[in-house]
Amino acid sequence: MQKMIEQAESVLLHTYNRYQVVFDHGDGVTLYDTNGKAYLDFVSGIGVFALGYNNREYNDALKAQIDKIMHTSNYYYNEPAIKAATMLTKASGMDRVFFTNSGAEAVEGAIKAARKYAYLKDGKNDHEIIALEHSFHGRTMGALSVTGTPKYREAFEPMIGYVKFATMNDFDSILANVTDKTCAIIMETVQGEGGIYPAEESFLKQVKALCEEKDILLILDEVQCGMGRTGTLFAWQKYGIRPDIMTTAKALGCGVPVGAFLMTQKVAEHSLVAGDHGTTYGGNPFATAAICKVLEIFEKENIPAHAAEVGEYLAASLQKLVEKYDCIELRRGAGLMQGLVFTCPVGDIIKTAIDNGLVLINAGTNIIRFLPPLVITNQDVDNMIEILDAAIAANCK
């Protein structure tokens, strides 16, 4: 394994500080490295592998599609894409969908749709977007422009421009940034990279009402918090509102790189038209076959409800650690998207956990983020807590 790591460091661009492990395969909620060591996975590929590893029904569906056709082009129709779009719009309550390769691309498309919507109203190109501080929407230039963490943007300025930043759960800060040029407000329903901050119901409803009043488009980014992770298929569905545009990815394909942005019929009729946007791979038969099977399994096994149930147990178990250790300030999150906020950097805790067979991930320097497969059980939570407890005790004196 060490030889593989050394080879990787000699050929891969060093844009990640990787943990010293090479994963080889997985089964259920367990990963195995190339030496055969087992690890309980509470990262799921950063919220991707919602169904766990080696799900036979999912694997068989993809193998069958490979034997049929993997790619054509968006110049032609394909059956899996039509089926996936039908299933996804029905499940989300949105009206139209555009398939992408990633979450960042979905955000790019959402921004373009919002700006085109505003352009068609007055023919001007100076419309503003309000994003939120501590948000994370992706690494591409458009998505980076609305990412509310300066360290990600500074080296790549100038961004796309006409973007302002407000504060999560502070409606007055939204109002302070709204002008007659505001065309969209973009936010994660639950901020992920920024520290696991859920939107408060009152805040989200106020923002939605403001958008309706002023014909501003509400874009909700559900790339990480969507697809059942917080207990409903999409996190916004529990708030009793509907965005004008939403983005999704990660668990949408459960391992196959695929994303999407969806919109209401009103936005679809007054924004992007033929020639405005495109993608080579987005919506190809292989990727959309994955979406079809994921949505089918989610519905059949009621995955969001299971995530809600086990999420309560996870939250309660993490809260016990908050009460036990002075170095933990608080727990926050929703469903199976949880975070522990520490008074110290968490890197050593995570490293110790990995050494002892538990895969965790941070959100910033002082937050441990918990994004397990949505099929975990209470027993998996207990096993995780046992290893984490020991790792905290070994590193927080």
106-144 residue pLDDT tens? 999 999 999 999 999 999 999 999 999 999 999 999 999
Give the strand pairing for 245-248 and 197-198: unpaired
pLDDT tens digits, 8-27: 999 999 999 999 999 999 99
Confidence at residue 112, expressed as pLDDT on a 0 to 100 scale: 98
pTM, to two decimals: 0.96
Residue range 309-316: mean pLDDT, rounded: 98
Asked if 90 contacts 122 with a C-beta cutoff of 8 angstroms, the reply is: no
pLDDT tens digits, 171-220: 999 999 999 999 999 999 999 999 999 999 999 999 999 999 999 999 99
Per-residue confidence at 364, pLDDT binned at 50, 70, 90?
Answer: confident
Averaged pLDDT of the chain = 97
Residue corresponding to tokens 């919602």: 50
In the chain, what's the furthest Cα-to-Cα distance?
62
CATH number 1.10.260.40 is the correct assignment for the domain at 69-301: no
User: Any idea where the domains of the chain sit in the sequence?
Assistant: 2-55+302-395, 69-301
> Counting Cβ atoms within 10 Å, is residue 259 exposed (0-12), middle (13-18) or buried (19+)?
buried
> Counting Cβ atoms within 10 Å, is residue 168 exposed (0-12), middle (13-18) or buried (19+)?
buried
Write the class of the CATH domain 2-55+302-395. Answer: alpha beta
| The pLDDT of residue 397 is above 80 | no
| The pLDDT of residue 247 is above 80 | yes
Residue range 151-162: mean pLDDT, rounded: 94
Cα 55 from Cα 321, distance rounded (Å): 32
